[in-house]
A and B are shown apart, each in its own frame.
Chain A
């Protein structure tokens, strides 16, 4: 199970990779493993304003359709169009090719409030028990 050091994590299993005010977001290795084979990804419209914690995407797997929550507030500037034809990319490579959407953060410091890799790893262990 991967927990890249350079990322920040939400309690609902989304990760964030920041550079300046830009935040690339996706779901964690733990999340993709729990979901099992992903068959469809419904992404937010580009231009949509989101609040941290707001449901903005849906990932459908063979066993469940799961809401994905914006880890930070801001405006959606990019979405990963590759996932339309190849949703399984989220399973295979959740932290890189399987990214979901990019947000232009209203408050770049907001990502600092999220968990680091170690805190998130502990969080997944609590959840499993």
Chain B
């Protein structure tokens, strides 16, 4: 074979690699017996703080929700866990059916016409929504994004748009914790803006007037992109009802553990009008020659392995295992369950807000309606409050907002999900009241 390609030796093929890197010494310790290895890894993992062993009131895009055992039990089946790209119709009907059902569940949850079989996460889903909108409105080169959209999502969007040379205008947040609609309107240019992107509940947990924001976008001929929290759709109006053209979000709240940031799940749904510009995989239902129902990947000619540089997106994957977990989670909850979860989140977070705001030196920063997160001004620096909360009470506190919003550097954002009880919340309030830095 070396003769066939005109090369004298195998090493000649490696000629381009600098000498110092070839056959470099690999400083890897010797192997351990399984028992020793297990002990070593356990010791490492015990250094983590986790929601199994500590109360956490952290939110901000990744949430601690109760995951029914059935999710792990079913999603752990080897046929699902070990399958690699199981999309051939002749070999993977089970997986394809699961993805089809996931898509169906997403449409039912959001009230939108179409769902793809998922993207990486909420952040990239926002970027893909922007790209789809730019493709649909052909010729428009601007985007408008609310500053109350998750800061990480906005950063990722910026990264995607930089390569495309798209201009992004930001609409600021009012003192009420909501997007400034007048500024949103001003920033949206008729004939130039492809999409207006607003999140609800927004990064501060506040519920935005989405129908009004959608109207702003549509008046100027732009698409309206809603960024949503799927677990909130049991109690909040879904994007299909308030005129979203594209609805995206982070699916982690649906049966996916926090797992130090991933893998998570990008939701992507839209109206029929956007169908041909949908990124990612789409599973369709059809029948074979004998009239039997079957599932296939469909509308594949959109994708980059066929359209190449003219494809809507260069994504050629999805988060099938996470989408499966989300599907099982939704099925386990059912229509009533998802509403119940939403109501519990609302009730507990509002009780917590009441208790914390009543503590000396603490007050609600925004008075807009909220779902399961709320922002409070602290009597001492948020970082110090959190540090003392960990030390004194072993509680993981809220998100220190000064990291992204300098004007909120005296604020913490607390998240309360259905994983908390009244006692837990009372304990948080008592702990906060008794901290060295908050005691008067």
Residues of A within 8 A of B (CB): 39-40, 42, 60-65, 67
- Are A64 and B306 in touch, CB under 8 angstroms? yes
User: How many Å lie between the Cα of A18 and that of B276 in the bound state?
Assistant: 32
Specify the chain A residue showing the minimal Cβ separation from B139: A45
A sample of 9 more A-B contacts (CB under 8 A), given A60-B301, A64-B301, is A39-B301, A42-B276, A60-B276, A60-B302, A62-B301, A63-B301, A65-B302, A65-B306, A65-B307
User: How many Å lie between the Cα of A126 and that of B306 in the bound state?
Assistant: 25
Residues of B within 8 A of A64 (CB): 301, 306
User: How many Å lie between the Cα of A63 and that of B305 in the bound state?
Assistant: 11
Residues of A within 8 A of B422 (CB): none
Interface residue? B310 (CB, 8 A): yes
Q: Separation in Å of the B419 CB from the closest CB of chain A? A: 46
Task: In the A-B complex, list the 7 residue pairs whose CB atoms are closest, starting with the nearest.
Answer: A65-B301, A60-B301, A65-B307, A64-B301, A64-B306, A65-B306, A40-B276
Residues of B within 8 A of A40 (CB): 276
Q: Separation in Å of the B194 CB from the closest CB of chain A? A: 16
Report the interface size class on chain B.
Answer: under 10
- Proximity bits, B359-400, A CB within 8 Å = 1, else 0: 000000000000000000000000000000000000000000
User: How many Å lie between the Cα of A39 and that of B302 in the bound state?
Assistant: 12
User: How many Å lie between the Cα of A64 and that of B306 in the bound state?
Assistant: 6
- Are B276 and A61 in touch, CB under 8 angstroms? no
Query: Quick one: given A40-B276, A42-B276, are A61 and B301 in contact (CB under 8 Å)?
Result: yes
**Most B C-beta atoms less than 10 A away, residue of A40, A63, A65:** A65
Q: Provide 18 A-B residue pairs closer than 8 Å at the C-beta atoms, listed in order of the A residue.
A: A39-B301, A40-B276, A42-B276, A60-B276, A60-B301, A60-B302, A61-B301, A62-B301, A63-B301, A63-B306, A64-B301, A64-B306, A65-B301, A65-B302, A65-B306, A65-B307, A65-B310, A67-B310
Q: Separation in Å of the A66 CB from the closest CB of chain B? A: 9
Q: Separation in Å of the B13 CB from the closest CB of chain A? A: 36
Residues of A within 8 A of B301 (CB): 39, 60-65
Interface of chain B: mostly helix, strand, loop or mixed: helix
Q: Which of B299-315 contact A (CB under 8 A)?
A: 301-302, 306-307, 310
User: How many Å lie between the Cα of A66 and that of B307 in the bound state?
Assistant: 8
User: How many Å lie between the Cα of A59 and that of B139 in the bound state?
Assistant: 20
User: How many Å lie between the Cα of A100 and that of B307 in the bound state?
Assistant: 21
- Proximity bits, B243-269, A CB within 8 Å = 1, else 0: 000000000000000000000000000
User: How many Å lie between the Cα of A72 and that of B276 in the bound state?
Assistant: 27
**Most A C-beta atoms less than 10 A away, residue of B276, B301, B302, B307:** B301
Residues of B within 8 A of A62 (CB): 301
User: How many Å lie between the Cα of A62 and that of B276 in the bound state?
Assistant: 14
Q: Separation in Å of the B213 CB from the closest CB of chain A? A: 27
User: How many Å lie between the Cα of A129 and that of B292 in the bound state?
Assistant: 40
Specify the chain A residue showing the minimal Cβ separation from B311: A65
Specify the chain B residue showing the minimal Cβ separation from A61: B301
Specify the chain B residue showing the minimal Cβ separation from A55: B310
Q: Separation in Å of the B132 CB from the closest CB of chain A? A: 14
Q: Separation in Å of the B321 CB from the closest CB of chain A? A: 29
User: How many Å lie between the Cα of A58 and that of B276 in the bound state?
Assistant: 11
Q: Which of B71-120 contact A (CB under 8 A)?
A: none
- Proximity bits, B265-278, A CB within 8 Å = 1, else 0: 00000000000100
- Proximity bits, B401-421, A CB within 8 Å = 1, else 0: 000000000000000000000
**Most B C-beta atoms less than 10 A away, residue of A42, A60, A67:** A60
User: How many Å lie between the Cα of A65 and that of B309 in the bound state?
Assistant: 12
User: How many Å lie between the Cα of A61 and that of B302 in the bound state?
Assistant: 10
User: How many Å lie between the Cα of A63 and that of B302 in the bound state?
Assistant: 10
Residues of A within 8 A of B302 (CB): 60, 65
User: How many Å lie between the Cα of A67 and that of B310 in the bound state?
Assistant: 9
Specify the chain A residue showing the minimal Cβ separation from B301: A65
User: How many Å lie between the Cα of A7 and that of B49 in the bound state?
Assistant: 75
User: How many Å lie between the Cα of A31 and that of B276 in the bound state?
Assistant: 22
Residues of B within 8 A of A67 (CB): 310
Specify the chain A residue showing the minimal Cβ separation from B138: A45
Q: Separation in Å of the B431 CB from the closest CB of chain A? A: 59
Residues of A within 8 A of B306 (CB): 63-65
Specify the chain B residue showing the minimal Cβ separation from A58: B310
Q: Separation in Å of the B137 CB from the closest CB of chain A? A: 12
User: How many Å lie between the Cα of A61 and that of B307 in the bound state?
Assistant: 12
User: How many Å lie between the Cα of A39 and that of B306 in the bound state?
Assistant: 15
Q: Separation in Å of the A18 CB from the closest CB of chain B? A: 28
Specify the chain B residue showing the minimal Cβ separation from A65: B301
Q: Separation in Å of the A63 CB from the closest CB of chain B? A: 7
Specify the chain B residue showing the minimal Cβ separation from A66: B301
User: How many Å lie between the Cα of A62 and that of B296 in the bound state?
Assistant: 12
User: How many Å lie between the Cα of A67 and that of B302 in the bound state?
Assistant: 12
Q: Separation in Å of the A58 CB from the closest CB of chain B? A: 8
Q: Separation in Å of the A47 CB from the closest CB of chain B? A: 12
Q: Separation in Å of the A54 CB from the closest CB of chain B? A: 14
Q: Separation in Å of the A41 CB from the closest CB of chain B? A: 11
Residues of B within 8 A of A39 (CB): 301
User: How many Å lie between the Cα of A61 and that of B306 in the bound state?
Assistant: 11
User: How many Å lie between the Cα of A64 and that of B310 in the bound state?
Assistant: 12
